[in-house]
Every structure is written in C-alpha cells, then in structure tokens.
Amino acid sequence: MTDLPTGYDEASFEAEDTGPLPVLAIVGRPNVGKSTLVNRIIGRREAVVEDTPGVTRDRVSYDANWGGRQFTVVDTGGWDPDAVGMAAKVAAQAEVAIMAADAVLFVVDATVGITDADEAVVRVLRKSGKPVVLAANKVDDQRTEAEAMNLWSLGIGEPYPVSAMHGRGSGDLLDAVLAALPEAPAETDPQTGGPRRVAIVGKPNVGKSSLLNKVAKEDRVVVHDMAGTTVDPVDELINLGGQVWRFIDTAGIRRRVRTASGHEYYASLRTHGAIERAEVVVVVVDASEPMTEQDLRIMTAVEEAGKALVIAFNKWDLVDEDRRYYLEREIDRDLIQFRWAPRVNISAFTGRHMEKLVPAIEAALEGWQTRIPTGQLNAFLGRLVAAHPHPVRSGKQPKLLFGTQASTMPPTFVIFTSGAIEPSYQRFIERRLREDFGFVGSPVHVAVRPRK
C-alpha cells in the first residue's frame, strides 16, 4: 500500500459520517395518491401504485434525496379502502407511521375535500406534536387550486397544492418537507448518553410479548422520569443487567393490534417502523417450528436498515433434549447469511438462558460501532492483496490503492482502486474484513471507488 493517491483528503470522508437518516412518514386515507407521491419524491417507479386494493406490501421504506438532503420515506398505503370502520383504521395506521417518523406528510385529495377519515388523522397528528406538511393532491391545473385552499380549515397550516401525477407543485412541497425535517433523526447519537434503543420483532406467536413480559418482570420497569429522557408512550424503559434500555414500540407488542383486513400489512409496517427507530433489533424465532421465509425476510430487513442484529430462538423448552444438537446444525445452515449475528437459545416461558440476551445485545452494539483506524485498515488491505491479488483480466489487474472507514453504525468502508473490482473479489474483501475485525452482530458495507 505504498501508492497512495495524491491529494487524498481524509477529512472529506469523515464528512460522510451521516449516520441514520431522518424519517418522513406519508399518511392519508386510501386513494388520495400517497404511492404516486412517494414515486415522485424518490424519483423512481418503485413504490408501485397498487391496482388491487388491500394488497400486502412488504416494503414500506425508501431512501430519498432532495436538494442534497437524504431522508427515508415511509409509505403507509396498500390496504383495503372499503374496510368497515375505515376512518378509525386510517387513524390507527397513521399513528403507527407517525410514531416512527421525524416529520409527517399528510396527503388529502383536494378534489374530494375533507372527509371523516381526514379529520381522524388530523386528531392523531395534533396529539403527536410532530411537524406536519399538508399536501393538497390532485391539483392538476389552475382550476383546482381554489379547492386546495379549502383545506386551510383542517387547522394544521398551509395546504401545498400538488399533482403527484404530473409533478405540478412538487418542488415547493418538497422544500416545505425539508424545512420540516430535522437534520438528523431524533435521539440517534449514542454519545448523548440516552438509553440504547432495542426493538423486539418477529412473526406473530413466536413469543415477543412473553419475552417482553419476562424481561420487564425480572428487573423493575423504570419510571419515565429518568433525567434527560422523554419517552414515547409506546416505548418502555427497562432496567436490564444493570443498564437502562429503551424498548421500542412495546405498546405494539402488548396491545397486539389486529385489524380484520390488512393486518399482516399493518404488522409489517409496525415491524419496519420499530426497526427504523432501533439501534439493535432482536429478531425472535420460534425454535419449535421450522424456520420460514418470513423469519428470514425480517432479518434481511434489519440488515438492509443497517441495524445491529441479535437472533433469539425462543421456546427452546419445547425442543427435545436429543434434538437440540441437530437443530443447532440446521439453524447454522439456514442462517448462513446471518452467521455474523449473535444467537441465543432461550425460553421466555421457563426463563432459560435469558441472562444471555443482554451480553448478545451488547456485543452486537459494539460490533455496530466498531471503528478501524485508517492505518490498521490499510495494513489489512496490504496483507490481503499480497496473499490474494485481484485476478488479471484481459491483461489488467486493478489495484487496491487505499481504504478508509467512512462511518460506523454500521461500519461502512470506502476502498479506492485503480480500476473496476469484480463483485466476487469485493465479497471476498468483506468476508476477510469480518474474519480480521469481527463486527459481530453488525452489517458491514464496502463501497469501491475506482480512481483515474
């Protein structure tokens, strides 16, 4: 690693240490144009506009970039507009989305005007105290503009007339959104000394609420007036292993929200919201049942969100003594791509191995925050290249020039090269990084930047 690129400026990479992004939730009743607006905001055709109402949408968050600012958009569309008790359901759904958000974009159909469902959402918004931007959608032309102005009567400020479909007015709307969004999401800095944020997620019936009850019972639930903490009513502060933790959206786990239609979607929204807000996520799996796609999807969502991950195999008491060894081997195989995540085999029922949960969470957070000094990283890259150089292709062999860790939480590396690197070689670097430095419980990102 002698050939450093000249003019390299380390400080410019420190500036990329942006950390988690602020979250914008899009709420509103069905068919007002939320998905169309999300497409407009993220500038892609990805947040499909559903033709079939009530279709369960798995993915609800997207990264957006406007005017050089990055943020995460959480879409709350995708379920049955004809359900009974619609207004209440829209309001409940908005409540979940708002909980996870730093600001809210409330979409109303200006051509229809104010409905009961809209008013129900407004009540929730008022209570939340979160910044709100009001979009008067379907204002496709000058004529409809006057109707948008009727929305002043909702009492939540200026309506921004917009046509999600044609783009009219979307620039002004997005400027207003940026003004409402904080620079950084609330309470994300571990250095501020607030309690670390843990989410318990998993399929229905795996034992999330049993686990929470067990955890909350063994050590007293702390009263909510700890210095310097304001606690979301859906969260709980719990003293565990001598430390106070903030458990995210415990109300969602305890209350067990079930709606007749779209409840799977609703649960998925809640799960994604909790993952976004957490630093470390405990994915609970039922050890007495075969693992499913859904279990893996939840783990993948944690990885994609860049959060620390702990996998808890619950109901271990139901697994026969002599089957345990084989089950462990099966799990090793099924979870090959999450090999890096600490695993605990517990029983929320008997309390078995519950004491292993906190050390696993702590290990994952430590891996998530690991920073490798630049010198050490480059020594590692030097050793790696010496032992396993990139294969020669058409007479060319790209070199790794220099690497730096751009950020932590999760560890993210940028490696400068003299040419394009093959994907398999990039994966090889990632694997070796883990072998040398661990990063237990954390996703690791490696970006390669070819330089001239």
Count the Cβ atoms, other than its own, within 10 Å of residue 300: 13
Should residue 323 be labelled a site residue for ligand GDP when binding is judged by CB under 6 A?
no
Q: Does 49 bind ligand GDP (CB under 6 A)?
A: yes
Number of residues that bind ligand GDP (CB under 6 A): 33
Whether residue 204 is annotated as binding a ligand: the answer is yes
Question: Binding segment for ligand GDP among 64-72, 82-90, 158-166, 332-340 (CB under 6 A)?
Answer: 158-166
Q: Which listed residue (207, 410, 441, 443) binds ligand GDP by CB under 6 A?
A: 207
Using the contact rule CB under 6 A, the part of the chain among 227-235, 291-299, 315-323, 396-404 near ligand GDP is 315-323
* Binding test (CB under 6 A) with ligand GDP, winner from 24, 176, 181, 206: 206
Q: Which residue lies nearer to ligand GDP by CB, 290 or 423?
A: 290
d(CA 285, CA 437): 28
If one asks whether residue 241 binds ligand GDP (CB under 6 A), the answer comes out as no
Q: Please, what is the minimum distance in Å from the beta carbon of residue 101 to ligand GDP?
A: 17
The answer to whether 252 is annotated as binding is yes
Using CB under 6 A as the binding rule, whether residue 205 contacts ligand GDP is answered as: yes
Instruction: Work out which of 80, 140, 235, 303 binds ligand GDP, going by CB under 6 A.
Output: 140
32 binds ligand GDP (CB under 6 A): yes
Q: What is the DSSP letter of 286?
A: E
If one asks whether residue 450 binds ligand GDP (CB under 6 A), the answer comes out as no
Reading the block at residue 357, the tokens are 């949960």
| Stretch of residues binding ligand GDP (CB under 6 A), selected from 1-9, 346-354, 375-383, 402-410 | 346-354
347 is a contact residue toward ligand GDP (CB under 6 A): yes
Is residue 93 a contact residue for ligand GDP (CB under 6 A)?
Answer: no
- Is 209 annotated as belonging to a binding site? yes
| Residue 309 and residue 281 in contact, taking contact as beta carbons nearer than 8 Å | yes
Give residues with Cβ within 8 angstroms of 26, minimum separation 6.
34, 37, 38, 73, 74, 75, 76, 77, 97, 104, 105, 107
Site membership for ligand GDP, residue 89 (CB under 6 A): no
Of residues 311, 324, 305, the one with CA closest to residue 356: 311
For position 48 contacting ligand GDP by CB under 6 A, the verdict is no
CA 188/CA 206 separation, integer angstroms:
29
- Supply the DSSP string of 211-238, one letter for each residue: HHHHHHHHSPBPPTT-TT----TT-EEE
Give yes or no for residue 171 binding ligand GDP (CB under 6 A). Answer: no
CB of 150 to ligand GDP, least distance (A): 17
Residue selected from 22, 77, 306, 410 as contacting ligand GDP according to rule CB under 6 A: 77
Residue closer to ligand GDP, measured from CB, 1 or 344: 344
**213 annotated ligand-binding residue:** no
Is residue 370 involved in binding ligand GDP (CB under 6 A)?
no
Considering beta carbons, is residue 1 or 74 the nearer one to ligand GDP? 74
The H-or-E segment that residue 127 falls in is helix 116-128
115 in contact with ligand GDP (CB under 6 A): no
SS3 category, 56: coil
Q: What does the alpha-carbon distance between residue 216 and residue 372 come to, in Å, rounded to a whole number?
A: 36
Q: What's the closest the beta carbon of residue 441 comes to ligand GDP, in angstroms?
A: 22
242 torsion bin: left (phi>0), alpha (psi -120 to 50), beta (else):
left
CB 435 within 8 A of CB 444: no
Binds ligand GDP (CB under 6 A): choice among 13, 31, 54, 419: 31
Part in contact with ligand GDP (CB under 6 A); list of ranges 121-129, 200-208, 353-361, 425-433 = 200-208
Task: Report the interhelical angle of 86-99 vs 116-128 (nearest 10°).
Answer: 30
210 belongs to an annotated ligand binding site: no
The reply to whether 32 sits in an annotated binding site is yes
CA distance 226 to 230: 8
* Tokens at 185, concatenated: 């999401």
317 binds ligand GDP (CB under 6 A): yes
Token output for 138: 């379907």
Residue burial 45-73, b: 16+ Cβ < 10 Å; e: rest: eebeebeebeeebeebbbebebeeeebbb
The SS3 call for residue 310 is strand
Q: Supply the DSSP string of 317-369, one letter for each residue.
A: GGS-GGGHHHHHHHHHHHTGGGTTS-EEE--TTT-TTGGGHHHHHHHHHHHHH
Name the site residues for ligand GDP (rule: CB under 6 A).
28, 30-36, 49-50, 77, 137-138, 140, 163-165, 202, 204-210, 253, 314-315, 317-318, 347-349
Q: Which residues are annotated as a binding site?
A: 28-35, 75-79, 137-140, 202-209, 249-253, 314-317
